[in-house]
Amino acid sequence: MTDSNAQGVLVVGEIEHGAPSAATLELLAAGRALLRKLPGEHLSAVLAGERAADAAARAIAAGVDIVYTIEADADVASHPDALVAAGLEAAKAASPRIVLGPRTVLGREVLPRLAFRLGTALAQDCTALDLDDQRRLTVTRPIYGGAIQATVTCLSTPSVAAVRPKAYDAEVADSGRAGTVVPLTLDLASTVRARLVERVTRPVEGKRLEDARVIVSGGRGLGGPEPFKKLEELAGLLHGTVGASRAAVDAGWVPAAMQVGLTGKTVTPDVYIAVGISGASQHMAGCGSAKTIVAINKDPNATIFKHAHYGVAGDWQKVLPAFMDQLHELLR
């Protein structure tokens, strides 16, 4: 779908509880940042699901100029087939220069298929977006398990990028903004080729890893499951949540849902505190884009110190209590 007249940015969004998801709002901020180098062009979004009209109003307040909406049952709209069809229909209407989508569990399935349908390539797991002097999309993305940050220029139109959640901060909503809502006539149920048999929802206590601004993670160096209670106490003081390395999960100390890394969750918190974690490339692939990494490890030669912004070489059983005592003092 190469179009020399393509312009603007299209965000393929997701709806949660009648509003754009957190990852979608972050993408809208990314789109507005790109448009500062594309004067006269606009930001559009496609939102499919229940209460799409309500979600459209929130999207306009967040900076969207044109919202393409498709009302559909939530179970239908959360299927990859449906979002691919919705994204394709919106792309036909908008003729975008750039298409952005979140690299969420759903987005990982939708964006590659959408890029194929558009006859273009996909830049995966992007942590930063920019434009070169020819107004081509350039992206920064980790490669080799996060050991290297690569800058890639997208040569095809539209350029499609899957952006890592938390790579951008959502902008403050402006309820006074004006925008256009364009309902699209598309039977999403007819596009779904798989049947939903059952939906199992696992209750989540506290913040999700993907949403947390502060994460305290433990690894093999903790020696067992009991020390994770101490990490939970620290995370509570910092209004964060607890993660773990694969070694801790494989040992059965904590559930797999807490795993951060190449085969676990990819997170981008403001602060990532790694306690007793060696810093293997597989783990750093999941947390290497954190804004600040703090490492506590008794081995001064541990790989984690090469990635950490701040590090303490010492026994966590001595370092952590002292750190928490200082936090208690500060929080009084």
Looking at the structure, do residues 13 and 128 belong to the same domain, yes or no? yes
Q: What is the CATH number of the domain that holds 29?
A: 3.40.50.620
Residue 14 has which token pair? 């997701």
Position with higher pLDDT, 76 vs 160: 160
Residue 197 inside a domain? The answer is no
Mean pLDDT computed over every residue of the chain: 92
Looking at the structure, do residues 133 and 223 belong to the same domain, yes or no? no
Task: Burial-class residue 52 by CB neighbours within 10 Å (0-12, 13-18, 19+).
Answer: buried
Tell me: pLDDT of 205 over 70.
Answer: no
The pTM of the full predicted model, rounded to 2 decimals, is 0.82
Strands ordered across the beta sheet of 137-143: 128-131, 137-143, 148-153
Residue 87 inside a domain? The answer is yes
Tell me: pLDDT of 277 over 70.
Answer: yes
Lowest mean pLDDT among 7-11, 26-30, 76-80, 112-116: 76-80
Taking residues 21-46, report their average pLDDT.
96
Q: What are the residues facing 128 on neighbouring strands?
A: 140
Residue 3 inside a domain? The answer is no
Q: Give backbone dihedrals phi and psi of 299, rounded to 5 degrees, phi first.
A: -90, 110
Looking at the structure, do residues 186 and 226 belong to the same domain, yes or no? no
Number of domains in the chain: 2
Looking at the structure, do residues 18 and 144 belong to the same domain, yes or no? yes
Looking at the structure, do residues 265 and 302 belong to the same domain, yes or no? yes
Residue 166 identity (one-letter amino acid): K
| Domain containing residue 317 | 209-331
Residue 201 inside a domain? The answer is no
Looking at the structure, do residues 159 and 244 belong to the same domain, yes or no? no
Q: What is the CATH number of the domain that holds 253?
A: 3.40.50.1220
What's the chain's Rg over C-alpha atoms?
21
Residues 6+ apart with CB under 8 A from 119: 1, 2, 156
Q: What are the residues facing 99 on neighbouring strands?
A: 10, 160
User: Which of 157, 191, 225 is a domain's end point?
Assistant: 191
User: Which of 145, 162, 191 is a domain's end point?
Assistant: 191
Counting residues of the chain whose pLDDT is more than 70, the rounded percentage is 97
Q: How confident is the model at residue 149 (pLDDT cuts 50, 70, 90)?
A: confident
